[in-house]
Amino acid sequence: MTVGDILLVPLHLGLAVLLFLISPLTSLLVYFFDLTINILQLPLWLVQKVEVLYIYLGIAALAGLSLGLVFSFFSSFIFSTLSLDHSRLEVETSLKHSSVPSDKTREAFQLKDPSFRPKGTRSKFNIGQTEVETFTLSPTTLSPDLISPMFRGDFGTAGRQRIFPIMEEEDEHEYENRGRKGRNKKRL
């Protein structure tokens, strides 16, 4: 072995390790290079057909942008004519559609709904003209009349946000047929 061979062996080994490490990158570059060459070699008639598609997509984009601008102009014109406040409507709609209620909304809801109050606290309710004071877990507090304004027929804004209480009823046919046998049994 010569001195040149001794110096070139580590250099050759380092170059082989470097080529091994960058081989995923080089194979990816070769793949995209071949793909580009194949696309550039497409027949001219295929490029002409794709050109029609680009024209349709361009016209659709221009129509969409122009209609969007027209709708934006008309909505701003209507808002200014009717003197509606954009910021107030944006805040209301964002509060309605937000997945996580804000702290103020959560606190207001907890103050209104007796089931969210701490155990043993008193709560006051206005039912019609009278004011009722109850404890949190008393039967009066848990009655459907106090939980849902819809139950007592109050169809105000608070009633629209609540859910009707679910009340089960027995089926009349099963009740009538229970215990009857033979010829005295009613036929349906």
Residue ranges per domain, the chain?
43-77, 108-160
What's the pTM value of the predicted model, to 2 decimals? 0.26
Confidence tier at 68 by pLDDT (50, 70, 90):
very high
The pair of structure tokens assigned to 71 is 């709708």
pLDDT at 159: 46
7: tokens are: 């110096």
Q: What are phi and psi of 170, to 5 degrees?
A: -80, 150
- More confident call, 33 vs 132: 33
Q: Which of 11-20, 100-109, 149-158 has the highest mean pLDDT?
A: 11-20
Is 124's pLDDT higher than 70? Answer: no
Per-residue pLDDT, 153: 55
Asked if residue 186 lies in contact with residue 177, where contact means CB atoms within 8 angstroms, the answer is yes
DSSP state of 142: T
Q: How far is CA 146 from CA 10, 29, 111, 116, 163, in A?
A: 86, 71, 14, 14, 13
Cα dihedral sign, 61-67-70-76 = negative
Question: What value does the mean pLDDT of the chain take?
Answer: 70
Distance CA 120, CA 11 (A): 82
Q: What mean pLDDT comes out for the span 115-128?
A: 54
Least confident of 4-13, 47-56, 64-73, 118-127: 118-127
